[in-house]
Structure formats: structure tokens, C-alpha cells
Amino acid sequence: MNVVITGASKGIGRAICHLLAGKNINIAFCARGQEGLDILLKELQDINPNAQYHAKSVDVSDKPSLAAFGEFCIEELGNVDVLINNAGIFTPGNITEEDDGALENLIETNLYSAYYLTRQIIPNMIENNRGHVINMCSIASITALPNGGSYSISKYALMGFSTVLREELKEKNIKVTSILPGATWSNSWQGVDLPESRLMQADDIAKTVWNTIELSKSAVVEEVIIRPQLGDL
């Protein structure tokens, strides 16, 4: 199996890569920082040296850079079985108070990256009559979060994109899944004074992603909502 994943070097993306490596899955992945990619590449090779790993430094908010990554994935993997649009950023703020440009930055990173990379990878899936697109949405895709502002807007839009994509691709034998995690330990939560049990672990999300991938051809998980046991923060 060949998998493409964005935003791979930290948090949920890193946990997904670790799990896939243990399953002997070939992975093409990207992140913005080269140092984080180098560390992840070594981790994956330590987990399983027999799978193929292809890393590229990419700013997913930059359309030409993202297009180059899509070409890189097809060139290195040949066929793409699963595309995981995981890259995303969070910038806190209320709509009426956040910095000018916040909406554009969040839309470009959280929505456009998934839209353009999916459009580039989908023809390969259609040609092979199989595929699975997994979009990392958020609880903020269905609930307006306090101080969520443009982040919530971008995640609502990503959920809309995912829903439309599901309808368009169901007759082409391509699955589409939306993952909607609540608060999960990642770099975004560094320094927060909360017990570890209050937030979910990145591994929880990675296992959920894998559960959607390994279903039979006749079944698809359209969306999964995952919250901390004590609820949203």
C-alpha cells in the first residue's frame, strides 16, 4: 500500500506515520521544516527499514510548492492508494479582533492545501479504480469554538469540501473520510497546565485513521467524531 500524508513531522501526522511504518506501508510525506523531516525519516527507518519513505520539505500554503510535492509523490510511489490531508495550523482569535490576513492564511493552509493536492492525486486513483482520501477536519468543523475565529471557518470549509468530494467520488470506487478530532496533545498545546488525561493522544487519532483504511472495499467510514472522555475544552 502507498500512502501520501501532509503535515507529517509532528503530532497527529507523526503518529500516523509511525503506525503506517509498523504496517509495512510505503509513505510519501511532507512538512515545512527539513530538520523535523530528517528526524521522522530516521524514526520510520528504525521502526521498519523494509518500507519505502519519501520526504519533501513543503509549504502547503504555497500552491507551486504543493504542486511539486504532488508530482514528487506520483513519481516516487507510482500509485497512491491513500491520501491523508493532515496539514493544518491553528491561530487563536475572535473574528472581530484577529489580525488582518488571519483568514487568508488559515484558508490557504487548512483548506486550499487539501483541495489542490486532492485534485492532483485523484486522477491517479481514478486510473487505478481505487483510492481513499482522508481529510483531517476538527470538532471545529461542526462547533464554533471559543476564540476559534477564522480557524473554525477554515475547518467548516474543509468539512464541506470533504462532504462534496464524497458525493462526487462514490461511483468511482474512491472512499472519502472526514476525521473530526477534539483536543489532542500536540505542539499547539505546549505549556498548557492540564493533566495528560484531559486531552487525547495523537496515537488515538492514528489508530482511528488506520481503522478506516483497513475496512473492506464495500464499506466506508464517512466521518468520525472523536472527543476527549471529559468532553471539549
User: What burial class does residue 101 get, using C-beta atoms within 10 Å of its C-beta: 0-12 exposed, 13-18 middle, 19+ buried?
Assistant: exposed
Per residue in 7-35, pLDDT (tens digit) is: 999 999 999 999 999 999 999 999 999 99
Q: Using 50, 70 and 90 to split pLDDT, how confident is the model at 233?
A: confident
pLDDT of 190: 63
Residue 102 in this model has a pLDDT that exceeds 70: yes
SS (H, E, C) the chain: CEEEECCCCCHHHHHHHHHHHHCCCEEEEEECCHHHHHHHHHHHHHHCCCCCEEEEECCCCCHHHHHHHHHHHHHHHCCCCEEEECCCCCCCCCCCCCCCCHHHHHHHHHHHHHHHHHHHHHHHHHHHCCEEEEEECCHHHCCCCCCCHHHHHHHHHHHHHHHHHHHHHHHHCEEEEEEEECCECCHHHCCCCCCHHHCECHHHHHHHHHHHHCCCCCCCCCEEEECCCCCCC
Q: How many CB atoms lie within 10 A of CB 187?
A: 9
pLDDT of 186: 76
pLDDT of 197: 79
Q: Structure pTM?
A: 0.94
Q: Which residue has the higher pLDDT, 192 or 99?
A: 99
What does the pLDDT average to over 202-210? 96
Residue 51: all three cell numbers together = 518500507
Kindly state the percentage of the chain with pLDDT values over 70: 98
Residue 231 in this model has a pLDDT that exceeds 90: no
Per residue in 40-68, pLDDT (tens digit) is: 999 999 999 999 999 999 999 999 999 99
pLDDT of 192: 74
Q: Helices 11-22 and 34-47: crossing angle, nearest 10°?
A: 30
What does the pLDDT average to over 195-211? 91
pLDDT of 125: 97
Residue 57: phi and psi, rounded to 5, are -75, 125
All structural domains of the chain: 2-226 (3.40.50.720)
Kindly state the percentage of the chain with pLDDT values over 90: 87
Provide CB contacts within 8 A for 82, sequence distance 6+: 1, 2, 3, 4, 131, 132, 133, 134, 213
Per residue in 76-91, pLDDT (tens digit) is: 999 999 999 999 999 9
pLDDT of 187: 67
For residue 79, give the amino acid letter: N
Q: What does pLDDT average to over the chain?
A: 94
Q: Using 50, 70 and 90 to split pLDDT, how confident is the model at 194?
A: confident
Q: Which of 159, 180, 172, 178 is nearest to 217 (CA)?
A: 172
Residue 148 in this model has a pLDDT that exceeds 70: yes
Residue 205 in this model has a pLDDT that exceeds 70: yes
What does the pLDDT average to over 173-194? 84
